[in-house]
Amino acid sequence: MTTATPKRITPHEAFERLQSRPRDLLVDIRSTMEYLFVGHPVGAVHIPWIDEPDWVENPQFVAQVRKLLLGGVGDESEDAPAIYLICRSGKRSLVAGQALITAGIENVYSVDEGFEGPLDAEHHRSTVSGWRFRGLPWEQC
């Protein structure tokens, strides 16, 4: 049996789709600390996949995403909103996306590069790729 994986999308493609399809959702799945102190895309809804203090998968993740969808979506038709998951570098969003697909939620995307992108040669992030590096709107608490 093959496990379905979320579709991959670049930060720019995700941003453009979110602008043209306002019912689509951008879900930042990073920890609360990352979301608050590193920053996050403007308009992103925060639902952590793994969070402090125990650093375990959020057992309510799928239910919390479903609750967002129930906020005005209706049926799972062709016109149902897409869900764009973003994490730090694009790895956690693939795993979280698989959980949503396994639970029957379709039209799930993983934002490649994530918010900060991979580490560079000096072990810094946001220097070679990612939502923030690409100049897309973001904010910080």
- Say if 1 falls within a structural domain: no
141 residues of the chain, pLDDT tens digit each: 457 899 999 999 999 999 999 999 999 999 999 999 999 999 999 999 999 999 999 999 999 999 999 875 444 555 789 999 999 999 999 999 999 999 999 899 999 999 999 999 999 999 999 999 999 999 998
Contact in structure between 84 and 111 (CB atoms under 8 Å): yes
Q: Which residues form the domain of 51?
A: 8-74+83-139
Q: Is the pTM of this model over 0.85?
A: yes
3-state helix, strand, coil in the chain (%, to 5): 25, 20, 55
Say if 3 falls within a structural domain: no
The answer to whether 84 and 14 have CB atoms below 8 angstroms apart is yes
| Residue 62: inside a domain | yes
CATH number, position 96: 3.40.250.10
Q: How many domains, the chain?
A: 1
Instruction: Give me the DSSP letters along 51-94.
Output: ETTTTEE-TTHHHHHHHHHTTT--S-STTSPPEEEE-SSSSHHH
